[in-house]
Structure 1
Amino acid sequence: GAPDKALARKVTKVGVVGAGLMASQMALLFIRRLDVPVIMTDLDQARVDKGVGYVHDEIDKLLAKGRVSQDKANRLKGLITGSTSKDGFADADFVIEAVFEEMGVKKSVWAEVEQIVTPECVLATNTSSLSITEMAADLKHPERVVGFHFFNPVAVMPLLEIIRGEKTDDATLATAFATGKSLKKTCILVKNSPSFVVNRLLGRFMGEAGKIVDEGTPVEVVEKAFAGVTPMPPFMLISLVGPAIALHNSETLHGAFPERFYVSPNLAKVVEEKIPSFYGADGKLDDSIFEKFSKPADAKVLTEEQVREQALSALADETRRMLDEEVVAAPMDIDLAMITGAGFPFWNGGVTPLLDRTGIAEKVTGQRFLPKGAASVAR
């Protein structure tokens, strides 16, 4: 679905708005893969210095491991600069933001950046859930705004969701794909829709797991139900993502599809109390957290098999809806996204072959996702 690569513009300088961990990881990737100057900006010098310092430290680690020469390390360090002013974006061809996940903040950033950059400069957002169309709506050149969603950690996770807004033009999209390819990422074209692909499916899955626990099933049962199906148990996944980010994603999706996406009041309580993980330092579930969970008087307790079927049924339903909405072009795009962006076990072939093989796809949606015989053997 990508446009003609001949339309792509050359990227000779990159601007990064933000100097936090995600922004710093992106800056490092850009200088390593594109070999072009990168300027990072943030609100104060301390944050800028911390971001540039992170990049320097990571280059030093590469040098210590013998993955780059001293000359290469010096050159890479010379490519990264930082500033509290965005004036350095004036000659940038590609500016990406990684600021707070709030629409007003992102709109404000782009309004400021647009006054500085050239009309052809691509404005890329690393948003994980917000509308690209809305983000670009007030700009003079909304056609050059595109979603460019990395997964954490940036250097490790192969997936890059490239999201086309309502007014994103082909030249911008082609530049985004060419840049993603140069970054050695697996690029998937995604329609502008709430939480895109991976976070939408994870939101439905984690919401279902939270609902099952809230209704009375012991968390240990839920955590054991997905062995060999998901990269890790649901509450471990929520802990890795961060409870606050998981809650924000579920609230975004609940706002768009309230009848399907569940927001756990218990998860909201965990976020309010600033609890960072459901697991202790010993790697075991922290029972003291779950003891605080509110439980209904008429508890509904499921078995591991019932938990797995309920959650996979929700995934089947959401996957079919996403394909019907043309969020992506084909089931294989969803499989590729979940393997490379969420770490789903590759031996299952992705989400859709698993749902086909278990019979859940036909039971829930009335049809298979893939032709009969395709990816039908589990290894």
Structure 2
Amino acid sequence: MTEMENKAVEYAVQQGVATLTMQSAPVNALSRAIRIGLIEGIESALNDASVKAIVVTSSLPIFSGGADISEFSGGDLSPMLPEVLDKIENATKPVVAVLPGPAFGGGLEVALACHHRITFAGNKVGLPEVNLGILPGAGGTQRLPRLADVQTSLEMIVTGKPTSVVKLPGVFDKISDKPEHLLEDTKAYLQGLTPDKAIKRTCDISLTMTDETKGVFDAVTAQTKKATRGFFAPLKCIEAVRGAYTLAFDDGLKNEGKLFMECMNTPQARAQQHFFFAERAAGHVSDFDKNTPERSIEKVAIIGAGTMGGGIAMNFANAGIPVTMLELKEEALEKGLALIRKNYENSAKKGKLTQEQVESRMALLSGTTSYDDLSDVDLVIEAVFEKMEVKKTVFSTLDKVCKPGAILASNTSTLDIDEIATATSRPEDVIGLHFFSPANVMKLLEVVKAEKTSAEVIKTCMKMAKRIRKVAVLVGVCFGFVGNRMIEPYGREANRLLLEGATPEQVDRVLTEFGMPMGPFTMGDMAGLDIGYYVRQSRQEHISHDPAYGAVADRLVEKGRNGLKTGRGAYNYEPGSRVPIPDPEVLEIAKQEAERLGVQQRSDICDEEILVRVMYSLINEGAAILEEGIAAKSSDIDVIYVYGYGFPVYRGGPMQYADEVGLGTILDKLTTYRDQLGEYGKMWLEPSDLLVKLAQEGGSFRSYNAKA
């Protein structure tokens, strides 16, 4: 390989055209090497009298994925991307961006600084910086509005969503029908450049704020305030774009830079960037390596055609993998398949699927009432009633009928996978695949490795998760694994606060103001209070030392108040409505239970106490999970909570939030309420050893390494 071939940007001159080809796999992240390569390439072309035009393109099926955000943490950043774009835009020879694939973030900003842009009809581009808690910082908020209309510009920058190039005719000078036509179309375009049209600098376009434009800004601002509560960057994006209409170009760039730094220095940006890396890090585990074999998953079986089983089946059908669904009764099987069809038909009505896609996916689904029909599947997932005896019976049967090498998985949300595995003669093939409801929508998949699960099975399941578009997090065996084990103290404290005198609406308000999609009482009503009741019944040996544990929730269930499905739970519900209505009867039940149990009710329960006892207890349990090695790293817990429980991404997940607040503060607040609450506090609010250790050392969950 020659030195030229080894560069991040290849430079070549042919027939008077200098071509700068970015070639830094996998996505041409705009690293220092690429930035230097682009500047050197532009300078070489400008200094070569034989060069009449310059093309900036990519050898990869992507133009550029944008900034190399690993550089955000420091190092030599020179030359900065704005310097590169200034060099491109002010070039005295025409610079044409040719996009053979998507351009995101800084990648699109490079294209916007070029004098001309060419791509193909099926391509998409975007400015997704808002998803990292920041805004486009290399002129994107100034150049895009000069080429696209104000509504489109604001939508792209404020939402960060990719946009089809065919919706951006002002941005692209030539849109080829197909990618394979790009080369010949580029040649023709270059030949057609006349001297008067050769250099079209985006910065030379002037914008003015008309009444109509102001109306668009006002409407987008109002909508954004509602839709992005808790996020910092979206409104700053609007402010930056406004500068394109009210300031000279150079002043607009300065304003963008100032707003960019304001965003960068926020906990939201730190949280969102942490989560960006956390999601990617979840797939990097030490339980297998590149030499570990992977099993083929070409045919899947699901045991149970209920809501969860059907949702799981849809994931595989969506990925083109045939699924056999098993129910012991034909009626239940037909009902399950009908529900799946109904879900697909609803998607088709919304325009998300064509009727042809509905039929092709349904064709991949078949049903059976006989275990014998599962003899040739590669993976079977059990999704039956959450009871150990039932699960073990299923696995014992699967052990007899499934072929050697088939992976036997349980969708259990709390039960011991090691015990389930004892029902088979092949515990190395048994694993937990905990899907979250609704399984066809939720992105999270907890992959639960049992003591004897083989590395081969773990690797196969982690890779399979990507194939069915899930974010997989590998966890160990304990009650509830990571997600449901941590939600237990969260719900416990919420219910205890109700017993002590708080109202469901106060507790829910504190948690929704924190950023949770719904409070614990609304969440319980939606899920069904009877589910928690049965879990408590099965865990008496762990909670019987506290006679007040879940007392109010138990009474509600015993009175038939199971939540939304019965129209009454912690709240009341009008028929057909999901809007919770406070009910004085619930407070009366709490008062009666408090008297019966000798718990003094208080009227002074403040918002801080609710947040500390509910949220910090969840974090404290996360610390114990980390110390026990149930989760390999704190960022895995964050991924589980953002994708599985709606924890606000602008806080990064519970462990990132704790690091941001400071573990010393978390420890102090938790111990304060532990001491105030006497025997109850000692029973349930004792800080975990790891929290104490890290707080005393001034450490963080992020830096903790259990294996160190």
TM over 0.5, yes or no? Answer: yes
1:328 matched to 2:631? The reply is yes
| CA 1:253–1:176: 2 relative to 1, 3 Å | farther
Residue by residue over 1:53-81, the C-alpha shift from the partner in whole angstroms, topping out at 9 and shown as x without a partner, is: 11222222333334333433322211111
C-alpha change, 1:106 and 1:262, in structure 2 (3 Å) is farther
Quick one: distance in 2 between partners of 1:262 and 1:138?
Answer: 36
Q: Is 1:12 matched up with 2:343?
A: no
Hey, what does 2:552 align to over in structure 1? 266
Structure 2 distance, partners of 1:179, 1:262, is 44
Give the structure 1 partner of residue 609 of structure 2: 306
1:311-348 CA distance string (max 9 Å, x none): 23322321211111011111111111110110011111
Amino acid at match of 1:244: D
Give yes or no for contact 1:215–1:300 (8 Å, CA) kept in 2.
yes
Partner of 2:640: 337
1:244 counterpart = 2:543: no
- Answer yes or no: is 1:79 the counterpart of 2:364: yes
Q: Which amino acid aligns with 1:274?
A: G
In the superposition, relative to structure 1, how do residues 323 and 259 fare at CA in structure 2: closer, same or farther (>3 Å)? farther
User: How far, CA to CA, are the matches of 2:584 and 2:460 in structure 1?
Assistant: 49
Query: Is the 2:317–2:365 Cα contact (8 Å) retained in structure 1?
Result: yes
Residue 295 in 1 paired to residue 600 in 2? no
> Counterpart of 2:80?
none
Contact 1:316/1:355 (8 A) holds in 2: yes
Q: 1:224 to 1:62 in 2, by over 3 A?
A: closer
CA-to-partner distance for each residue in 1:119-173, whole Å, 9 max, x for gaps? Answer: 2111111100000000111311111110000111112211100000111111111
Q: What is the CA–CA distance in structure 2 between the aligned matches of 1:214 and 1:315, rounded to whole Å?
A: 19
Alpha-carbon distance, 1:229 to partner = 4.2
Equivalences for 1:32-71 in 2 at 5 Å?
A: 32-33=318-319, 35-71=320-356
Structure 1: where are the runs of 5+ without partners? 373-379
Which residue of the other structure, out of 649, 660, 674, is the alignment partner of 1:357?
660
Partner of 1:198: 483
Q: Is the 8 A contact 2:543 2:549 kept in 1?
A: no
Residue identity opposite 1:353 in structure 2: Q
Which structure has the higher relative contact order (CA within 8 Å, separation 6+)? 1
Q: 1:371 to 1:81 in 2, by over 3 A?
A: closer
Shift of 1:291: 2.6
In the alignment, the residues of structure 1 paired with residue 623 and residue 508 of structure 2 have an alpha-carbon distance, to the nearest angstrom, of 25
| Contact 2:379 2:409 survives alignment (8 Å) | yes
2:393 and 2:423 in contact (8 A); partners too: no
Q: CA deviation at 1:201?
A: 1.0
User: Of the candidates 415, 420, 424, which is equivalent to residue 135 of structure 1?
Assistant: 420
**1:358 Cα deviation from its structure 2 partner:** 3.3
User: Against the structure 1 CA distance between its residues 290 and 156, is the aligned structure 2 distance closer, same or farther, given a 3 Å change threshold?
Assistant: farther
Letter in 2 for 1:11: I
The C-alpha deviation readout for 1:80-139, integer Å capped at 9, x for no partner, is 111221221111000001100000000001111211111211111110000000011131
- Point out the structure with max Rg over C-alpha: 2
- Residue of structure 1 in register with 2:438 after alignment: 153
Match of 1:369 in 2: 700
**Over aligned residues, Cα RMSD in angstroms?**
2.3
Distance change in 2, residues 1:63/1:371 (3 Å): closer
d(CA) in 1 for partners of 2:416, 2:584:
38
Q: Is the 8 A contact 1:204 1:261 kept in 2?
A: no
What displacement does 1:261 show? 12
2:562 is aligned, of 263, 272, 276, to 276
Segment drifting more, 151-160 vs 269-278: 269-278
Bigger mean CA deviation after superposition, 121-130 or 5-14: 5-14
Correspondent of 1:31 among 312, 317, 326: 317
Distance in 2 of aligned mates of 1:300 and 1:130: 37
Residue 174 of structure 1 aligns to a residue whose secondary structure is: helix
User: Bigger shift: 208-217 or 11-20?
Assistant: 208-217
After superposing the two structures, state which structure 1 stretch, 150-159 or 263-272, moved more.
263-272
Which segment is superposed worse, 199-208 or 310-319?
Answer: 310-319
Query: 1:274 and 1:45, CA in 2 relative to 1: closer, same or farther beyond 3 A?
Result: farther
1:219 aligns with 2:468: no
Q: Structure 2 vs 1, CA of residues 247 and 12 (structure 1 numbering), >3 Å: closer, same or farther?
A: same
Between 1:91-100 and 1:223-232, the stretch displaced more is 223-232
CA 1:53–1:42: 2 relative to 1, 3 Å: same
Q: Percent of aligned pairs with the same residue?
A: 29
Of 310-319 and 161-170, more deviation after overlay is shown by 310-319
Aligned pair count reads 371
Structure-2 residue corresponding to 1:375 = none
Shift of residue 263 of structure 1?
3.3
Compared CA separation, residues 305 and 207, structure 1 to 2 (3 A):
same
SS of residue paired to 1:115: helix
Question: Counterparts of 2:546 and 2:436 in 1: how far apart (Å)?
Answer: 24
By how many angstroms is 1:371 displaced?
Answer: 5.8
When the two structures are superposed, what TM-score results if normalisation uses the length of structure 1? 0.91
**SS of aligned partner of 1:48:** helix
Gaps of 5+ in 2: 1-284, 564-569, 671-690, 704-708
Is 1:114 equivalent to 2:399 in the alignment? yes
User: Cα distance, 1:221 vs. partner?
Assistant: 2.7
1:226-278 residue CA offsets vs partner (Å, 9 max, x unmatched): 22243321101111222122334455666457779973122122223332322
Contact kept in structure 2, 1:331 and 1:369, CA below 8 Å: no
Say if 2:634 and 2:702, in contact at 8 Å, map to a contact too. Answer: no
Give the distance between the partners of 1:73 and 1:220, measured in 2 at CA. 42
Structure 2 match to 1:286? 583
**TM-score normalised per structure 2:** 0.50
For the residues of structure 2 that align with 1:47 and 1:4, how far apart are their CA atoms? Answer: 42
